Amino acid sequence: MSLNIGVFLGSRSGNDKKILTLLKKFSRWFVTQNHTLIIGGTDSGLMEVLAKEVHSKVKVKAIYTEKYIDSSKDYNFYTELIIVDNSITKKKIFEKNSDLFIAFPGGVGTLDEIVDIINRNILREINKKLFLINDISYWKQFNELLDYFKLKHFTSSNYENHNLKTCNLEQLKKEIKRIDAKNKS
């Protein structure tokens, strides 16, 4: 049984070429694992790069909000295209379809999605792991902000106890292998 892995990442490519290199390295590994990719669904930026890198070798489910569907485009780099009314519905379907989540660099949309997953894990509404890929220290300041919340007593959470793990790509591969083995037993 393969995993359904939700990946959060930018709808833009950013300006750091290391991110693109990291994403392509992840893509090469991902296609060897026989997991299904769940993606937020845009045909631009890092999302498009990831979908195009893996679509011919693994299942790719894309969840788009109808506002961003362009009928003149050919969406041929997804196995399944799910179209929803709004971003709230999109997040619910994304969450329901994913066994775990991985976050690469992104902007406000990516931040919104990961904060929602962290909060829902803390509230025990879900129990799903979220891995922040931090090879280039992209999530360093975000983690400092979470530590600041704790320092100021706005949370008592140890976020790792709530399924949040910041790691590099090699650590992620080991974690996914362990989760997959547990899932198959």
Q: How confident is the model at residue 1 (pLDDT cuts 50, 70, 90)?
A: low
Q: Which domains does the chain have, with CATH numbers?
A: 4-169 (3.40.50.450)
Q: How far apart are CA 15 and CA 129, in angstroms?
A: 28
Tell me the average pLDDT of the chain. Answer: 91
* Residue-level pLDDT at 15: 92
User: What mean pLDDT is predicted for residues 136-157?
Assistant: 92
Average pLDDT over residues 43-72: 85
| pLDDT band at residue 20 under the 50/70/90 scheme | very high
Across 162-167, average pLDDT: 93
pTM for the predicted model, two decimal places: 0.93
Higher pLDDT, 54 or 42: 54
Give percent of the chain with pLDDT exceeding 90. Answer: 68
| pLDDT at 72 (0 to 100) | 66
Edge-to-edge strands, sheet with 36-39: 80-84, 60-65, 36-39, 4-8, 100-103, 130-133, 164-167
Q: Where are the alpha helices (DSSP H) in 2-102?
A: 17-30, 45-54, 87-97
**pLDDT exceeds 70 at position 39:** yes
| Average pLDDT, integer, range 2-8 | 95
